[in-house]
Amino acid sequence: MEVKYRMAVFATEKTIVVVQGITGKEGAFRTKRMLEYGTKIVAGVTPGKGGQEVHGIPVYDSIEEAVKAHPEINTAVQFVPARLAKDASFEVIESGIKNLLIIAEGIPFQDTMEIVALAKEKGVTVVGPNTSGVISPPICELGACCQSAFHGPGKIGVISTTGSIQWYVSRLISLGGWGVSTMMQIGGDPIRGTDFPEALLMYEKDPQTEAMVMIGEIGGDAEIRAADLIERGEVKKPVIAYIYARTAPPGKRLGHAGAIIERGGTVESKVKALQKAGAIVITYPWEILGAIKELGIEPIPELLKTPIKESKVEE
Amino acid sequence: MPYLLEYEAKQIFKKEGLTIPEGEIAESPEQAKSIAERIGKPTVVKIQIPTGRRGRAGGIKFAENPEETEKVAKELLGKDFLGYKVDKVLVEEKLNIKKEFYIGVVNDRAAKSPAILISSEGGMEVEEITQKFPEKLAKINVNIFKGLQIFQARNAAKKVGIPQEIINSVSSILYNLYWKIYRKYDATFTEINPLCLTVDGKLIAADARLSIDDDAMFRHKEITPEAEKHLNEREKHAKEKGYVYVELDPNGEIACISNGAGLGMSIMDYVNEAGGRLACFMDVGGRFYELAGDALKMVLTLPNLKAVLFHVYAGLTRANVIAKGVCEAIKEVKPKVPIFIQVSGTGEKGAIEIMKKESEEFKKMGVTVEWSSHTVTGKESPLAHKGGVDVIEIPVKRVLEWCGIKYKRNPPKWLPEHPEWEKVTREIMRKTLPLRPEPEYNELAKYE
């Protein structure tokens, strides 16, 4: 099946990748899986390890050198520890690369603010931190996604704070025949490069996406700002939302750095705002296909017969 | 999130040159009395617990003399306030207040930048100021690279009606709060509420709140917040090892170890709504393989533990690696409580092979282990449970049964009820799975 459209940003057929931290255990393993999936990776960077190769990909000492040798690079995927993430991110943003995926969990908030502020100044789209990635099946996977949960090219856009329960929801959408256009895990940190409102607007512009599924959590007000966009008519495509941690005790940080009820941020407030704006809220993740079907969106029959792409590398 | 107690925050404020009332911390009524004697003025006695609204809860009391200070301290120490036991009170000079203000610096999640808050009203929670005096509260976003400039603070102070004669001094306190506290200590939030103007014209931080970013604590090794001294053995251990471990109820019956906060929190919801008691949830990371045994041993020290649930839907983590790690840990620890292992996602095929093989071993060892995975039909081994649509819920149901609780769904009333959507999902799965080219789905189709 010919893929006519792809999301305007991130994980498209035009995505050409440099992997930061490619010589690390995780970086090397994920590079192999991404390559097998079909992601176009042309370079890797690890300071001090320039000249090596990882799975046939040349390694450079700096982003500057990688970009000089491969000027076509437009996306950086970062497997770098949290404490080094600010420096690594600045290096990418200053290089002229326009898309940056930050995987690390545990980056200090104020470091992330600096990364996001610099990215905004330079017109760079950041996804993350604290994410496992972005995937547009079957053409491009960035990061460390559960590839087998995604079939496509599909019609449903998935935006999520989490992997785990989201892989399950995406898998049902894929097996049901609707397929996923792009799944973007925006991450569980309080300061996100791309948050729900910006992500919804990206999908709104993507001709392939017919509806969006939002998986959100307690803390902050990103889901409520997303509801405002829907209410104002800036997001016209249907939105289905599942918001977890509805029994969370206030004041307790629950795993994700951003998942805490303080000065608002309850599931109830988010659910009510989304419903008022006209979004569909599901109570359990397994209700997802019933909700999609009710929207009147037709599944894609070919997707039921074509195999789901997945790298065979498990260790 | 190390939320510092008032006295801890005030020590930092003092070190950084902000003016605080004269005072000291007391752990006994006698100590409180001698502090009051030294101060030689009427006092205020304040409970030290990690939350706001202490005044309204009756945790802040005034005393005229040392004897009264002792009496008040006796009333407060050892009591429970807002769910916290009081083991320290702060004894301070009582200020002669002319007017109270509010200043603070917060992380603005929506603007992705710091924001300063200032109000010519103070002494009540900022939410209350927002509601009662919106015109007297200003919020200004700060460019993190330029940082707060003093003119911005001045303009904001003027806008909210801070008296002209103290605008310069109030804005320089706000400036210091931004640079010397918020930025220097990686605060997620800091506030002075109230900032008091005394009758003799001084500006004093009567209260101090400071919360430091957990993830930035490596830059502030000199600070050991009181809250961390109160961690229990498991929490201390988890912190040392770098686990994401949230203890919800030390007397809970179920320990949940999942690979992601989203799954962990969803399970928390379903268990709570069914009337179960979740002791903790733990988010396992990529290093889990070598740490599974250690994590298992740690949760087995929960006093009322009746079941352990490993609920994994892997992306960044790998199901096969986790399955192997968990199985080896079980063989080593031989736990007496039953264990449910659900491993799906990246590495799922490998995980299923491991579980098929190992679960027979467990039976011989006398350890109760049941398991599942998304493409498992439930017939793979006598201990396997069906996956598919049920892969999230069945494990929750089983661990609750082990605790003697019959699982039932009981979502809050404000969530919509659409049982027909679940039916549609199942119908679609029954229809689509037999058509798929992957044999594992054809097999599952017969059981959906």
Nearest-by-CA chain B residue for A107: B215
Whether A269 shows a pLDDT value over 70: the answer reads yes
Q: Averaged over A104-124, what is the pLDDT?
A: 97
Name every residue whose Cβ is closer than 8 Å to that of residue B88 and which is 6 or more positions away in sequence. B5, B7, B25, B26, B27, B47, B48, B77, B226
With pLDDT > 90 as the criterion, what percentage of chain B qualifies?
Answer: 79
Of the candidates B76, B94, B112, which is a domain's last residue? B94
Number of domains in chain B: 4
Q: Averaged over B389-410, what is the pLDDT?
A: 97
How many Å from the N-terminal Cα to the C-terminal Cα in chain B? 43
Confidence of residue B286 (pLDDT cuts 50, 70, 90): low
Q: Averaged over B349-369, what is the pLDDT?
A: 92
Is A256 annotated in the active site?
A: yes
How close is the nearest chain A Cα to the Cα of B54, in Å?
Answer: 15
Please tell me whether residues B321 and B407 are part of one structural domain: yes
Q: In what order do the strands lie in the sheet with B89-93?
A: B23-26, B89-93, B43-47, B60-63
Where are the domains positioned within chain A? 16-127, 133-302
Looking at residue A1, its pLDDT comes to 47
| Contact call for residues B70 and B33 (beta carbons, < 8 A) | yes
* Cβ-based burial of A315 (10 A; exposed 0-12, middle 13-18, buried ≥19): exposed
| Contact call for residues B61 and B72 (beta carbons, < 8 A) | yes
Specify the CATH number for the domain of residue B83: 3.30.1490.20
Tell the CATH topology of A16-127: Rossmann fold (3.40.50)
Please tell me whether residues B284 and B407 are part of one structural domain: yes
Element (H, E) at A215: strand A211-216
* Strand duo A99-102 + A75-78: pairing: parallel
Of the candidates B209, B230, B251, which is a domain's last residue? B230
| Contact call for residues B351 and B322 (beta carbons, < 8 A) | yes
Whether B179 shows a pLDDT value over 50: the answer reads yes
Q: Averaged over A289-293, what is the pLDDT?
A: 98
CA distances to A164, B85, B348, B437 from B344, in Å: 9, 42, 5, 19
**Coil vs helix vs strand at A261:** coil
Whether B1 shows a pLDDT value over 80: the answer reads no
Please tell me whether residues B215 and B250 are part of one structural domain: no
User: Chain A residues with CB inside 8 Å of B258's CB?
Assistant: 164
The encoded tokens of residue B427 equal 């119908």
Please tell me whether residues B427 and B361 are part of one structural domain: no
Please tell me whether residues B195 and B263 are part of one structural domain: no
Look-up of token digits 């929190």: B265
How close is the nearest chain B Cα to the Cα of A208, in Å?
Answer: 22
Look-up of token digits 């249907």: A238
User: Chain B residues with CB inside 8 Å of A272's CB?
Assistant: 414
Whether B290 shows a pLDDT value over 70: the answer reads no
Confidence of residue A6 (pLDDT cuts 50, 70, 90): low
Task: Give the dihedral sign, CA A256/A258/A262/A268.
Answer: negative
B residues 404-423 lying closer than 8 A (beta carbon) to A: 409, 411-412, 414-418, 420-423
Interface check for B193 against chain A (CB to CB < 8 A): the answer is: no
| Spatial separation of the C-alpha atoms in residues B441 and B445, rounded to whole Å | 6
Mutation site for A-interface testing, chosen from B211, B277, B421, B440 by largest number of A Cβ within 10 Å: B421
Q: Which of A4-13, A17-26, B147-156 has the lowest mean pLDDT?
A: A4-13
Please tell me whether residues B130 and B16 are part of one structural domain: yes
Interface check for B178 against chain A (CB to CB < 8 A): the answer is: no
Q: Tell me the average pLDDT of chain A.
A: 94
B residues 357-386 lying closer than 8 A (beta carbon) to A: 374
Q: Please give the single-letter amino acid code of residue B210.
A: L
The angle subtended at Cα A50 by Cα A45 and Cα A53, nearest 5°, is: 80
Please tell me whether residues B246 and B392 are part of one structural domain: yes
Q: Tell me the average pLDDT of chain B.
A: 93
Interface check for B176 against chain A (CB to CB < 8 A): the answer is: no
User: Chain B residues with CB inside 8 Å of A179's CB?
Assistant: none
Structural domain boundaries enclosing B434: 418-448
Nearest to A108 by CA among A257, A315, A275: A257
Nearest to B310 by CA among B332, B286, B334, B327: B327
| Spatial separation of the C-alpha atoms in residues B181 and A58, rounded to whole Å | 45
From the candidate CATH numbers 3.20.20.150, 3.30.70.260, 3.40.50.261, 3.40.50.1000, the one assigned to the domain spanning A133-302: 3.40.50.261
pLDDT digits (tens, 9 = 90+) for A160-217: 999 999 999 999 999 999 999 999 999 999 999 999 999 999 999 999 999 999 999 9
Q: Averaged over B178-205, what is the pLDDT?
A: 97
Whether B348 shows a pLDDT value over 90: the answer reads yes
Looking at residue A232, its pLDDT comes to 97
Of the candidates B214, B230, B246, which is a domain's last residue? B230
How close is the nearest chain A Cα to the Cα of B429, in Å?
Answer: 6
pLDDT digits (tens, 9 = 90+) for A235-260: 999 999 999 999 999 888 888 888 88
Looking at residue A113, its pLDDT comes to 98
Q: Averaged over B347-358, what is the pLDDT?
A: 94
Please tell me whether residues B144 and B213 are part of one structural domain: yes
Complex prediction ipTM: 0.95
Please tell me whether residues B297 and B154 are part of one structural domain: no
| Contact call for residues B347 and B318 (beta carbons, < 8 A) | yes
How close is the nearest chain A Cα to the Cα of B96, in Å?
Answer: 31
Name every residue whose Cβ is closer than 8 Å to that of residue B282 and which is 6 or more positions away in sequence. B238, B243, B244, B245, B246, B255, B256, B257, B258, B264, B295, B299
Nearest-by-CA chain A residue for B349: A314
CA distances to A78, A192, B67, B188, B216 from A91, in Å: 11, 19, 63, 25, 21
| Spatial separation of the C-alpha atoms in residues B160 and B157, rounded to whole Å | 6
Looking at residue A264, its pLDDT comes to 82
Element (H, E) at A29: helix A25-37
Looking at residue B241, its pLDDT comes to 85
Please tell me whether residues B278 and B381 are part of one structural domain: yes
Confidence of residue A55 (pLDDT cuts 50, 70, 90): very high
Please tell me whether residues B329 and B382 are part of one structural domain: yes
Q: Averaged over B31-51, what is the pLDDT?
A: 95
Please tell me whether residues B124 and B240 are part of one structural domain: no
Specify the CATH number for the domain of residue B5: 3.30.470.20
Q: Please give the single-letter amino acid code of residue A140.
A: C
